[in-house]
Amino acid sequence: MNSYLNNAWYMAGWAKDLQDTPVAREFLETPVVMFRDAGGSPAALYDMCPHRFAPLSRGTLVEGQIQCGYHGLRFAGDGRCTHNPWTGRLPPSAQVQSFPMVEQDGILWIWMGDRDRADPDRIIRYPELADGDYRFVFGSSQVNAHYELVTDNLLDLLHSPYLHPGFGADWRPEYKYRVEGDTVYSDYRVPPYRGSEFTDILWPQTRGKMVDDFESMRWNPPCTLELRIFIGVEGMKVTEGEGFINIAPHIVTPANKTSTHYFWGSGIKASESTVTDEAHLEIVSQAFDAEDAPMLEAVQRRLGGNTDIMARKPRPVALPGDTSAVHARNILKKLIKQEKQTT
Amino acid sequence: MNSYLNNAWYMAGWAKDLQDTPVAREFLETPVVMFRDAGGSPAALYDMCPHRFAPLSRGTLVEGQIQCGYHGLRFAGDGRCTHNPWTGRLPPSAQVQSFPMVEQDGILWIWMGDRDRADPDRIIRYPELADGDYRFVFGSSQVNAHYELVTDNLLDLLHSPYLHPGFGADWRPEYKYRVEGDTVYSDYRVPPYRGSEFTDILWPQTRGKMVDDFESMRWNPPCTLELRIFIGVEGMKVTEGEGFINIAPHIVTPANKTSTHYFWGSGIKASESTVTDEAHLEIVSQAFDAEDAPMLEAVQRRLGGNTDIMARKPRPVALPGDTSAVHARNILKKLIKQEKQTT
Amino acid sequence: MNSYLNNAWYMAGWAKDLQDTPVAREFLETPVVMFRDAGGSPAALYDMCPHRFAPLSRGTLVEGQIQCGYHGLRFAGDGRCTHNPWTGRLPPSAQVQSFPMVEQDGILWIWMGDRDRADPDRIIRYPELADGDYRFVFGSSQVNAHYELVTDNLLDLLHSPYLHPGFGADWRPEYKYRVEGDTVYSDYRVPPYRGSEFTDILWPQTRGKMVDDFESMRWNPPCTLELRIFIGVEGMKVTEGEGFINIAPHIVTPANKTSTHYFWGSGIKASESTVTDEAHLEIVSQAFDAEDAPMLEAVQRRLGGNTDIMARKPRPVALPGDTSAVHARNILKKLIKQEKQTT
Ligand code: FES
Ligand code: FES
Ligand code: FES
């Protein structure tokens, strides 16, 4: 599938990414500059001055407006030209496309489609990110692979014992998928095992004991995921909602056909863990940035410019662990088709 | 416009660039090797040996001829094969295309078109470059942008206060354009201002005083420019030809569609300034190489492979400062059209 | 000519390249992973897991089989899937293409064509490589040029005095070509000369004396060469088979249209030379890797994407030294044509 779901909220970055300077990022093949307006609200414009096409992100912020770094035209967060230093008159066509943005749960969300349909109530919530009982570490990387390869990877954690030794080479779960409406889940119940570097670091109290482990990855279209891990030591009955908890948003946004923004967080309940943020960040960034990303980029190189692994001949051999990812791909394909028909 | 004016003199380099070794440069999508012949005159050949296509620029100079570094064929400055070490006989087809060159005012000029039309009298003069009363510093860089983006930038100095803080953020001129035949001028009269890092460094005697400033950029087709700046302190009446003078050749030559040689010089009258060459070079190379070039390359990236910003949809929004550049583009378009009709 | 001879043995590497870890290389535009099976025999598979297209070369060796580094499928040297950690059942389509390999004379050979025709008896022998009387140094590099540019270079050593000063700037041979069946020879008889850095280092006993020199380069299709050099001091009659000997396999394998594996060795008879391997390696790698490779890559850049220098207009000017290479090109063209007709 070579197109995007346009009418959807995509993660544009962490709220903390946006401070005093403009930030340039590409979303859905569109260059975007983001900044905070005078009131501190996030704004997003097409990152090109309508005068001589300088990227606005090379400019400076003046009282919550962005001033072009080439000849000084100034634009508000809604894309209107507000200042022309050379004649005072505002060229009527000097208007820049703006994109709706929402800041919620410490996340910036952007809407690249039809702005009349941008309903903030449809944004997936990550309430623990703003909950003082939790401590999170964060990552932002760019993976040179199609975004569905990234979501496939997240929906099939059976890669973990091979690609992520730090999560346990003897982590051998039973896998089940669930589909509820347009939401897809991968559930993993792991028979008691000796724990891993990951469990040892996050919950030192489990060290040396056999651990119970239940994990559930949730996918919402187009590419918004969250993993919840529940860990207990022998004798604790661990299911969803019980045990020591790790909550991990995994949110991906296509930059273009073969490059993807990958935003992830990993949070523990402060009362359950004494791990330092440094140690926490080290063990998870190793997995997501140093192990997943190079593998996904290697797969994309094998695909060449091809962006739909399922359409390649010969087709990939199916394993049971792929089921959730295949469901998610089909739901997204359906939604993109619907969007094309109604526009 | 996707073609070049072929029957024109282009700057190939500074005379001092050509010493004892061959120099390889691309002009108008053509690889060229330049060297000095036995008499010291500059010569230019198509940079490819007709035997097995080695770049001749990988060879060596032997008595003012270029000897191929692969199997030793030797060529004179006019492209004739003069020596075959393996049989003595000269292969009749072993001929390399040569290009007329002229060395004048410390500049090397090359003619890439129909050689019968190569009239040295048509070369634009830069007499001060060879005038001992002046001291010049020089730059040679390659900018990855279409050459008309570079000439546009030079013909619209209203970018200066935004892109070049060292030339004064409060440099706020009145701009006028003049067109005389095929020559275009941008004239800037600047109301008295506090001077800038640039005026402070070049003419320390103006420091702390309000300065008068008149500047005139001249463009001759295809892309040969010169800026003259006249600076005076309060009470001096500064117009063209009066005041402390800065003469700046800005000469650009297309390497290919999206890469341009940018040669610039900056000269002061030795009697008017005590500036060192080091300080002089630092302030101007900061502006031309470290500020202009990255902005032009960023604009080219926004244009992708497109080489005519004026043909892009939607069209760029026009500001008054663009007028000279638009005139120059139209004159060049006319000359290219004429050249195509007569050949 | 834009195709390859598929039914042929190509050098895949030196035997010593294959130790405990998988090795990834591209041959004839095909990604290949090589490893040793449980018995130590070399095996080669298409370097892509049929499940989710991970390069198998990112995996690990488990008892002579390759285990995919993504989800753990395991494959034997013949390409059969032997282990599925997740269900035990082996997906019937989980089969990887394998390529015949032979290890002989310290060289790994691979057959990329129709496996029924892979006859090991057709492999060119390099017996001295496995002969204790000889000491060899080795090189493996990748040259970004079409493989026939590399073989042309080897079949025309008249480039030597220009490109390889270490082999003697006054090395001025008489050249003869011989064609025997599909084998082509370039023979060089060099009138006595003062020796070179190369002869001084390899045979110190010749230093300061005039040397006799006979050299013969042999080419077998598709691109398997060997140079034999015979050196004597004044008074020795040196022909093929007499004098101090240097034996140099030069074996090239196309990676793709414009990139070539270049494997070379250089051997002396231990009884004839006291040269250290370090000094030996330095003088020859300077020539092959630091002088030949950049020249060939520069020629390829002049050709752009063009892969047949002989088909370019205007055609290259012919010199007598090219004759062997032209014969070799014609033989290879004939063999590729025959192969296409019979399949
Ligand atoms: S390009 Fe932005 S003001 Fe000119
Ligand atoms: S390529 Fe120039 S002499 Fe052979
Ligand atoms: S990609 Fe190899 S086992 Fe999944």
d(CA A329, CA A72): 45
Architecture of domain A127-339: Alpha-Beta Complex (3.90)
Q: A321 at the C interface (CB within 8 A)?
A: yes
pLDDT band at A1 (very low <50, low <70, confident <90, very high): very low
| pLDDT over 60 at B129, yes or no | yes
Angle of CA points A253, A254, A256, to nearest 5°? 155
d(CA B299, CA B152): 12
What spacing in Å lies between the alpha carbon of A317 and ligand 1's midpoint?
Answer: 52
What spacing in Å lies between the alpha carbon of C67 and ligand 3's midpoint?
Answer: 9
Task: Tell me the pLDDT tens digit for each residue of C66-82.
Answer: 999 999 999 999 999 99
The confidence score (pLDDT) of residue C305 equals 85
Atom of ligand 2 nearest to the CA of B49: 2
| pLDDT over 90 at C93, yes or no | no
Boundaries of every domain in chain A? 9-122, 127-339
**Residue whose CA is closest, atom 1 of ligand 1?**
A52
What spacing in Å lies between the alpha carbon of C332 and ligand 2's midpoint?
Answer: 23
What's the whole-number mean pLDDT along residues A270-286? Answer: 96
pLDDT band at B266 (very low <50, low <70, confident <90, very high): very high
| pLDDT over 80 at C170, yes or no | yes
CA distance B86 to chain C (A): 8
Q: What residue has token string 């935004």?
A: B162
The confidence score (pLDDT) of residue A240 equals 67
| pLDDT over 60 at B2, yes or no | no
What's the whole-number mean pLDDT along residues B254-261? Answer: 97
The confidence score (pLDDT) of residue B305 equals 85
Q: Show residues of chain B in contact with C318, CB under 8 Å.
A: 91
pLDDT band at C240 (very low <50, low <70, confident <90, very high): low
Q: Do A31 and B302 touch (CB under 8 A)?
A: yes
The confidence score (pLDDT) of residue B92 equals 84
Atom of ligand 1 nearest to the CA of B319: 4
Task: Tell me the pLDDT tens digit for each residue of C288-322.
Answer: 999 999 999 999 999 998 889 998 888 999 999 99
Chosen from B167, B317, B324 to mutate, greatest number of chain A CBs within 10 A: B317
| pLDDT over 60 at C2, yes or no | no
Pick the CATH number of C9-122 from 2.102.10.10, 2.40.50.140, 3.50.50.60, 2.100.10.30: 2.102.10.10
What's the whole-number mean pLDDT along residues C233-255? Answer: 86
The confidence score (pLDDT) of residue B313 equals 86
The confidence score (pLDDT) of residue B240 equals 67
C68 lines ligand 3 (CB under 6 A): yes
The confidence score (pLDDT) of residue A305 equals 85
The confidence score (pLDDT) of residue A313 equals 86
Q: Do the domains spanning A9-122 and A127-339 agree at the CATH topology level?
A: no
Q: Which residues contact B294 (CB under 8 A, 6 or more apart)?
A: none
pLDDT band at C245 (very low <50, low <70, confident <90, very high): very high
pLDDT mean across residues, chain C: 95
d(CA C303, CA C133): 43
Q: Do B302 and A55 touch (CB under 8 A)?
A: yes
CATH T-level fold of C132-339: Naphthalene 1,2-dioxygenase Alpha Subunit; Chain A, domain 1 (3.90.380)
The confidence score (pLDDT) of residue B87 equals 87
Q: A70 at the B interface (CB within 8 A)?
A: yes
Using CB distances shorter than 6 Å, the residues near ligand 2 are B 49, 51-52, 54, 68, 70-73
d(CA A28, CA A44): 14
Q: C313 at the B interface (CB within 8 A)?
A: no
CA distance A72 to chain B (A): 6
CA distance C208 to chain A (A): 56
Alpha-carbon distances of C176 from A53, A176, C216, C292, rounded to whole Å: 63, 74, 9, 22
| pLDDT over 90 at A12, yes or no | yes
**Considering chain B, what percentage of its residues have pLDDT values greater than 70?**
98
Q: Residue C317 is encoded by which pair of tokens?
A: 């000017």
**Residue whose CA is closest, atom 4 of ligand 1?**
A71
Task: Tell me the pLDDT tens digit for each residue of A115-141.
Answer: 999 999 999 999 999 999 999 999 999
The confidence score (pLDDT) of residue B126 equals 98
CA distance C317 to chain B (A): 5
d(CA A167, CA A158): 11
What spacing in Å lies between the alpha carbon of A149 and ligand 3's midpoint?
Answer: 13
| pLDDT over 50 at C1, yes or no | no
What's the whole-number mean pLDDT along residues B158-165? Answer: 98
Q: Do C162 and B50 touch (CB under 8 A)?
A: no
C175 lines ligand 3 (CB under 6 A): no
What spacing in Å lies between the alpha carbon of C280 and ligand 1's midpoint?
Answer: 61
| DSSP E strand boundaries for chain A | 9-14, 23-27, 30-36, 42-46, 60-62, 65-67, 74-75, 81-83, 98-99, 101-104, 107-111, 134-143, 174-180, 183-193, 211-220, 224-233, 244-256, 259-269
Q: Show residues of chain C in contact with B68, CB under 8 Å.
A: 162
Residue C79 has a CB neighbour count (10 Å cut-off) of 17
The confidence score (pLDDT) of residue B88 equals 82
Task: Answer with the residue of higher pLDDT: C89 or C200.
Answer: C200
Pick the CATH number of B129-339 from 3.90.380.10, 1.10.645.10, 3.40.50.150, 3.40.50.880: 3.90.380.10
Q: Do C71 and A295 touch (CB under 8 A)?
A: no
Task: Answer with the residue of higher pLDDT: C124 or A94.
Answer: C124
What's the whole-number mean pLDDT along residues A106-123? Answer: 97
Q: Residue C142 is encoded by which pair of tokens?
A: 């990748």
Q: Residue B266 is encoded by which pair of tokens?
A: 């900056």
A94 lines ligand 1 (CB under 6 A): no
CB burial class (10 A; 0-12, 13-18, 19+) of residue B99? Answer: buried
What's the whole-number mean pLDDT along residues B302-320? Answer: 91
What's the whole-number mean pLDDT along residues B137-145? Answer: 97
| pLDDT over 50 at B20, yes or no | yes
What's the whole-number mean pLDDT along residues B78-86? Answer: 96
What spacing in Å lies between the alpha carbon of C59 and ligand 3's midpoint?
Answer: 10
- Residue in B with minimal Cα distance to C319: B51
**Of C175, C169, C227, C159, which Cα lies nearest the Cα of C196?**
C169
Residue C342 has a CB neighbour count (10 Å cut-off) of 9
**Considering chain C, what percentage of its residues have pLDDT values greater than 90?**
90
d(CA A327, CA B308): 46
Task: Tell me the pLDDT tens digit for each residue of A190-208.
Answer: 999 999 999 999 999 999 9
- Residue in C with minimal Cα distance to B47: C302
| pLDDT over 50 at B1, yes or no | no
